[in-house]
Structure 1
Amino acid sequence: MLITKADGTTQQFDATKLERSLRRAGAKSEDVIQVLAEVEKSLTPGVKTHEIYERAFAVLRGRGGPTSARYTLRAAIQQLGPTGFPFEDFMARLFEYEGYKTLTRQNLQGQCALHEIDVVGYRGDKTFIGEVKFHKDPGYKSDLQTALYSYARYLDVLESKVCAEDICGINTLKIITNTKFTQAMLEYSLCKGIELHSWGFPHGDASLESLVEKYQMYPITILSSLSEHHKILLMQRSIVLCRDFIDKQQELRALKIPEKIIIAAAAEAEALFAQQIQ
């Protein structure tokens, strides 16, 4: 049966993709079987992929446990907006787990112009500048234009340093998005040696979702116990991760978040970390 992807194109429904996403979220075998059966029973021609995943989430949530929250990880990352700054902070924290010291929203003087860089990171073997593209629309793809201007900026700041240490000379450009890249951008970036991170790319353990799962970088937007108002309030104070929520509960009380909501959300967050991926 043909279904409609986020970018408007159509493809045949592939139950194995749904099964992989369920297992990645830690769903038990009996849950996977039940969700697949319920989803396939409700399919209609042209149904949108987000509707399929919403149906899968509803079935998972009805079966209880933290798996349903982890299954909504992509949607939770989509909520790290609307300014994009929370996503920049999120990525900076992620790269810290990769061994980098990071800074966000830095002004670097190039040979010809002053540039604001979304995130920079440095460690013994590598120093990068990163262009972080946040898109609220899950069907929007970062395109060739992004790669072209990012690479021009990279060339202009190559002689600059991101800090005073000897290891701080720039040698790598990264482009990160919460959605996907166009094929033209992928080909250009491969040609120019640009490192890309997006949902599903590169294949293996360096894609956005793989890195998030590897380091358990669950954003607070994944917590259903929090209202949209509370999530925005927390992100405005750079509390972006579930582990921040657990560690900074005293600060949360100062924000006048009701105690029962703090307790419920903290329990929800702790359940995410306690569950092991099957």
Structure 2
Amino acid sequence: MEKQIYIKKGNDEIELFSFEKLKKSLKSAGASKDVIETIILGIQPNLYDGMSSNEIYKKAFAILKKHNKICASRYSLKRALFDLGPTGFPFERLVAALLKEKGYITKVSVILDGACVTHEIDVLAEKDVNVYAIECKFHSDAKGSSNVKVPLYINSRFLDIQQQWNTNSNKKTHLKQGWLVTNTRFSEDAINYAKCVGLTLLSWNYPKNNGLKANIDSMALYPVTTLTTLTRKEKHQLIEKDVVLVKELLNASNTMKNIGLSEKRIHHVLDEIKKLCNVTQHNA
């Protein structure tokens, strides 16, 4: 019988460590049964009460990277989203790209007049003459979450913009709904309030099987921070040049040269991107 170990999660909560949960996340990244078993055997002897989930992740990632770099890239997605910071702008770009892939026309950082005051909207998305105002709440670590105050605030802003937009006879579109997107999680009260007022929520794993992770995986819209062939410094240099998605690097060899990558390393990066974006999809 496996010994019960309690670990400390990124948000400081204590929970019982689950091998099944670890196996599921590794399988979701595309790891084979044999590799998963190797990782479990590698981690098991080093587990102890109070161990952080981040420590376990690092050990699992290191073993996975030795066996399959592409699976390691996919396994790192949650941390890779945190690494998009410190500002929230790259995350907004990622959200806009996800919506564009679903057929929306998107704009990032748009100033709109409300009935009472002016607002800056992170992402404005249009589809079938309906417009959606999207607020992105980026957190650079797992401790950040959105309680009920956040959707309360976002919905009040949306209603102010909606009143102005939909009474303007010059507008040919209808401002239909407000959205709130975060890379961490929402409290139960936040979810209940959003359901009640018709505000769409999107977080790492909400709605179930259709959260950020599921959408990024299904569309292969990975951020550059997932790449194992780039250093942390190089990833941030690319983000500073407004390269946020790995797919954008397929046609950005000059940008990689500009940050000091050799032809050989560029070849390795492009090889990883092609494999990552065409990797066999697995259910999250």
In the TM superposition, what is the alpha-carbon distance from 1:122 to its structure 2 partner?
Answer: 0.8
Give the aligned residue type for 1:176.
Answer: V
In the TM superposition, what is the alpha-carbon distance from 1:88 to its structure 2 partner?
Answer: 0.5
Give the aligned residue type for 2:43.
Answer: V
Give the aligned residue type for 2:204.
Answer: W
Q: Greater CA deviation, 210-219 or 243-252?
A: 243-252
Q: Which runs of 5+ in 2 are unaligned?
A: none
| TM-score (structure 1 length as normaliser) | 0.93
Query: Can you list the C-alpha shifts for 1:135-183, whole angstroms capped at 9, x where unaligned?
Result: 11212111222111101101100134499763x3211111101111122
> Partner residue of 1:187?
192
Quote the Cα distance in structure 1 between the aligned partners of 2:260 and 2:15.
Answer: 48
- Given candidates 124, 148, 161, the residue that maps to 2:152 is 148
- Given candidates 20, 23, 34, the residue that maps to 1:16 is 20
Quote the Cα distance in structure 1 between the aligned partners of 2:21 and 2:190.
Answer: 24
Matches within 5 A, 1:154-193: 154-161=158-165, 166=172, 168-193=173-198
Quote the Cα distance in structure 1 between the aligned partners of 2:165 and 2:201.
Answer: 22
Q: Which runs of 5+ in 1 are unaligned?
A: none
- Given candidates 29, 32, 35, the residue that maps to 1:31 is 35
- Given candidates 111, 114, 122, the residue that maps to 1:110 is 114
1:103/1:121 contact within 8 Å kept: yes
In the TM superposition, what is the alpha-carbon distance from 1:125 to its structure 2 partner?
Answer: 6.5
Q: 2:210 matched to 1:199?
A: no
> Partner residue of 2:46?
42
SS of the residue corresponding to residue 3 of structure 1 reads strand
2:234/2:259 contact within 8 Å kept: no
Q: 2:270 matched to 1:271?
A: no
In the TM superposition, what is the alpha-carbon distance from 1:193 to its structure 2 partner?
Answer: 1.5
Q: Greater CA deviation, 188-197 or 58-67?
A: 58-67
In the TM superposition, what is the alpha-carbon distance from 1:224 to its structure 2 partner?
Answer: 2.2
1:160/1:169 contact within 8 Å kept: no
1:108/1:160 contact within 8 Å kept: no
Quote the Cα distance in structure 2 between the aligned partners of 1:76 and 1:244.
Answer: 16
1:160/1:170 contact within 8 Å kept: no
In the TM superposition, what is the alpha-carbon distance from 1:190 to its structure 2 partner?
Answer: 1.6
The aligned length equals 276
Query: Can you list the C-alpha shifts for 1:248-270, whole angstroms capped at 9, x where unaligned?
Result: 22343355543333222112211
1:60/1:67 contact within 8 Å kept: yes
Q: 2:263 matched to 1:240?
A: no
Quote the Cα distance in structure 2 between the aligned partners of 1:179 and 1:219.
Answer: 16
Identity %: 30
| TM-score (structure 2 length as normaliser) | 0.91
2:69/2:228 contact within 8 Å kept: no
1:2/1:10 contact within 8 Å kept: yes
